[in-house]
Structure 1
Amino acid sequence: MKVLVPVKRVIDYNVKVRVKADGSGVDLANVKMSMNPFDEIAVEQAIRLKEAGQAEEVIAVSIGVKQSQETLRTALAMGADRAILVIAADDVHTDIEPLTVAKILAKVVEEEQPGLVLCGKQAIDNDMNATGQMLSALLGWSQATFASEVEVAGDKAKVTREVDGGLQTIEVNMPTVISVDLRLNEPRYASLPNIMKAKKKPLDEKTAADYGVETAPRLEIVSTAEPETRAAGIKVGSVEELVSKLKEAGAV
């Protein structure tokens, strides 16, 4: 069984995001970029399935700008066997919309014929949480979202999902699309020898046009703004004063 893992290049989660002065978007100048953390978890799970003898090949795929090569090399250094880069934009500020990504991934799936697609539940830059579900619909495959546990056995996959009320365990037919959540696993660090080996692993470059998918955006960003600065707190000298202040604020 092949496992396909989509990965996205995003601003590193440790970086404080800055908004452009004109409010047209996020400033990416000299900003550290890395693999989306949820996608790292998906890569790790795919590698574990291979190590357990349940998968034969792990393929990482990224859709975006040419610089996404770095993200794919990270996936290869973690243990993916090969990678596919679909160049769908020239400007690093261009964010490919989920439906477009899902359409391209559907074409990649038709070409590669994997038995499982593992993806992050969402990207930390736009928080769309839509690509996995759209891909499932386009393929006509079963889906399991927000996975915190995954067990593959034959033509079934048992998935524990994180839902508002707690945990839900479901069984889906293979092939399937599974989007992973934070508590599924802890991704491994790529060792130096594996980073060196990753440079020799195959990485194919294609374009959205190769798959016949139009990448023109359907959404327009009107403006981008930083959240309001949190107001400073006040100190009170007694419980009575605290209650009084809460009443004034309408909290009691």
Structure 2
Amino acid sequence: MSGKIVLVTGAGSGIGQALALEADRLGHRLILVGRREASLSDTASVLSRRARIVPADVTTPDGRNAIRDAVADEGLDILVNNAGRLASGRLEGLSDRDLAELVATNIAAPVALTRDLLPALEKRRGQVVNIGSVFGDIAFPYFALYSASKFALRGFSDALRRELAPRGIGVTYIAPRATRTAATESFRALIGPMAMSLDDPEAVARHAWRAISARKREQFPPSRERFFVALQRLRPQIIDRALAGMTSDPAVIAAARHDETREKA
């Protein structure tokens, strides 16, 4: 699969940038969407072909209108809903603003943007790609809000796949594990005590595009987390015991408080 028109949200950094670079390597044309034009220009500068840059906030009607206008000009084969926020720490440490911004970006925005771009996708029997997380299956303590948003995105993907199948539009849900990006800094203190393994965004993008190109239903990392996801679905009480035990670990408790304090500083 090559020569498709691919729109990537959150394309200025992290996984979004890596997805754009891999799409370019595969011969696709890019529409790069993000809040910061300078970051999008950085991504565009290392692509082998021209990309359309659309500085837009996907959480606002004005931002989505700008994206829709760009798609009207360029067409669209693949929508990659990648833009997202991350919040970690104890639940009582989350503010109303944390909650509102994360829900708006991680849940409402991909739903609304997909809705707005369905006519363009239907014309080309296109594809919706939602970038979720292993946390959308395995809910980690101290990531309650983030996990909830990714569970929601996974449910949206399943329902949308069934709804759009008669119209020829595919839906692929991608669930990477923790990835080395700027967002990782927000939970850096938890990585060691919780024994998290992190992947490079370039590896995540290569793996994701194999699933996207095959129009697969969903994809999980080629690692032990895939087994844990299966175990979570079949025997969730086993995962409950393992992860609940972390909340009694003094090192994990201290790390959660450290990240919470550092975010508010």
What range is the shorter-chain TM-score in? 0.3 to 0.5
Decide which structure has the larger Cα Rg and report it.
1
Give the TM-score, by structure 2 length.
0.37
Higher relative contact order (CA 8 A, sep 6+): 1
Give the TM-score, by structure 1 length.
0.39
Structure that is richer in helix per residue? 2
